[in-house]
Amino acid sequence: METPLTQHISFDRPCYNLRDYEKNGGYQAFRKALSLSPESITNTVQASDLKGRGGAGFNTGMKWSFVPMNGHYPVKYLIANADEMEPGTFKDRMLMEGNPHQLIEGMIISAFAIQANISYIFLRWAYKKAGRLLTHAIGEAYAAGYLGKNILGTGYNLEMYLHTGVGRYICGEETALLNALEGKRATPRAKPPFPQVSGLFGKPTIVNNVETLCNIPHIINNGPDWFKSLGKGNDAGTKIYGVSGRVKRPGLWELPMGVSMRELIEDCAGGMANGYRFRGALPGGASTDFLVEEHLDINLDYKSVAAAGSRLGTGTMIILDDHTCPVGFVHNLEHFFAQESCGWCTPCREGLPWTEKILLSIERGEGRPEDLQLLETHTRLLGPGNTFCALAPGAMEPLQSALKYFREDFEKHIDQKKCPWR
């Protein structure tokens, strides 16, 4: 089984410096890319069927193809979205701490493909170690001539800056991230215009997730057919999957895209911890619908997870066990979303705190039977199409599926006027 993304990652030693990375084939893909036309790089990435690993799952090469390439745009930007803040998600931290040059090489190739001359890594504040390692690696890449003016004598120029955020979930939304980089409140922007045409400071901009960008050198080295052959079912490539919660071995694994949920939980994570029983899981971070026991054999690719009523999201799974109250679990999620709402649009600003309060009152044994109806109404009012961005619809996913799969638990709280778990 091939594991391109993690083949050079080991936490038993320091991460590769530039020389070690080069010795192991690093920056060969970039050298190859420089001999290709930008358009053919975009075509290769599009043909590989690489989909965005930040959660939305859009074809990466197609996203790039919307950037104007007619020479009328002297300033363009390429941004790595390293603001990993989806609760339960910890994969990009591992990629950046484990092999910072892989991300930098992926960014340089991507920037070359859209002919951007300025690139940013938008890193979340809490990732101190990743920040130190990336700062050092960017310095090495400048010294080696992979960044700066007239890169490797080709006449291509690229600057790279590390921007550290000051904490807000909404910064992960790509247009909110652009506002944060411009020094403003990170409220999302109306689309269109899309960032590919009018992004950072009004210039054409591509924002890609860290894991997405780390795939680029391997696709350039080995070709789109190789990349497609890595996946098991509907989707191409490998994926960094993760499991957290009451399992024997929480962690991250690079696996063929489309591995089954059972393989991930039982073989990789070692199954449930002693004394704990599986009740459900959010397959791809806090803003995805619950999957339950009947879904254990589905494949974790975009289409199959969607068919089961959820989203692959970030591919990092949070397990709900039988010692944890589902109402408390969902209340914790809605507390997060209510706190992190940017406040721009009314349904999200007002609806999420309301949802959180209802859940808290149910959890405290003060819930009324009609509260479940009220929560269901919220899942519709805050659902897709009614809000300015995807935050509130995402927040409704675990709630609507909890009301479906764990309804008895909600009712027990209301009937017994207490949380049965406390």
Partner 1 sequence: MIAQETLTPEEMAEIDHEIALVPMRRAAAIEALKIVQHHRGWISDDSLQAIAGYLEISPEELDSVATFYNLVFRRPVGRNVILLCDSISCYVMGYEKIYGQIRDRLGISFGQTTSDGRFTLLPNACLGTCDHAPALMINNELFRDLTEENLDEILDRYH
**Are the CB atoms for 382 and 274 separated by under 8 Å?**
no
Q: Three-class SS of residue 42?
A: helix
Residue 263 contacts partner 1 per CB under 8 A: no
Query: Whole-number minimum distance, CB 298 to partner 1, in Å?
Result: 22
**Angstrom distance (rounded) from CA 21 to CA 15:** 9
> What DSSP letter does each residue of 154-191 carry, written as one string?
SS--BEEEEEE----GGGGSHHHHHHHHTTS--PPPPS
Q: Residues 134-163: x/- map of binding to partner 1 (CB under 8 A)?
A: ---------------------------x--
**Angstrom distance (rounded) from CA 350 to CA 345:** 9
Query: Whole-number minimum distance, CB 414 to partner 1, in Å?
Result: 22
Count of chain residues binding partner 1 (CB under 8 A): 55
**Are the CB atoms for 16 and 8 separated by under 8 Å?**
yes
**Are the CB atoms for 73 and 114 separated by under 8 Å?**
no
Closest CA to 300 of 288, 283, 287, 285: 283
Residue 242 contacts partner 1 per CB under 8 A: yes
Residue of 246, 279, 295, 378 interacting with partner 1 (CB under 8 A)? 246
Residue 267 contacts partner 1 per CB under 8 A: no
Query: Whole-number minimum distance, CB 98 to partner 1, in Å?
Result: 14
User: Interface with partner 1 by CB under 8 A: which range of 38-46, 150-158, 214-222, 314-322?
Assistant: 314-322
Residue of 1, 71, 166, 294 interacting with partner 1 (CB under 8 A)? 166
Nearer residue to partner 1 within complex by CB, 268 or 414: 268
Nearer residue to partner 1 within complex by CB, 275 or 385: 275
Closest CA to 22 of 100, 97, 96, 101: 101
Residue of 108, 178, 298, 333 interacting with partner 1 (CB under 8 A)? 333
Residue 368 contacts partner 1 per CB under 8 A: no
Residue recorded with tokens 């970039």: 30
Query: Whole-number minimum distance, CB 325 to partner 1, in Å?
Result: 10
Q: Residues 88-127: x/- map of binding to partner 1 (CB under 8 A)?
A: xxx-xx------------------------------xxxx
Residue of 336, 388, 405, 410 interacting with partner 1 (CB under 8 A)? 336
Residue 206 contacts partner 1 per CB under 8 A: no
**Angstrom distance (rounded) from CA 216 to CA 219:** 5
**Angstrom distance (rounded) from CA 265 to CA 272:** 8
Residue of 55, 87, 204, 394 interacting with partner 1 (CB under 8 A)? 87
Nearer residue to partner 1 within complex by CB, 94 or 257: 94
Residue of 25, 139, 145, 167 interacting with partner 1 (CB under 8 A)? 167
Strand partners, 162: 121
Residue of 10, 37, 339, 377 interacting with partner 1 (CB under 8 A)? 339
Residue recorded with tokens 């590919």: 196
Residue of 7, 332, 361, 386 interacting with partner 1 (CB under 8 A)? 332
Residue 409 contacts partner 1 per CB under 8 A: no
What type of residue is 59? N
**Rounded to whole angstroms, what are the CA distances from 113 to 145, 161, 412?**
18, 18, 56
**Are the CB atoms for 327 and 365 separated by under 8 Å?**
no
Query: Whole-number minimum distance, CB 312 to partner 1, in Å?
Result: 17
Q: How far apart are the first and last CA of the chain?
A: 45
Residues sharing a CB contact under 8 Å with residue 337, sequence separation 6 or more, in sequence order: 169, 286, 287, 352, 356, 391, 392, 394, 395
User: Interface with partner 1 by CB under 8 A: which range of 58-66, 240-248, 298-306, 348-356?
Assistant: 240-248
Query: Whole-number minimum distance, CB 284 to partner 1, in Å?
Result: 13
Angle between helices 407-416 and 346-363 (to 10 degrees): 60
Residue 201 contacts partner 1 per CB under 8 A: yes
- Token pair belonging to 372: 């479940």
Query: Whole-number minimum distance, CB 87 to partner 1, in Å?
Result: 4
Name the residues that contact partner 1, by CB under 8 A. Answer: 84-90, 92-93, 124-129, 161, 164-169, 180-186, 201, 242-246, 250-252, 282, 286, 316, 318-321, 324, 328-329, 332-333, 335-336, 339-340, 342
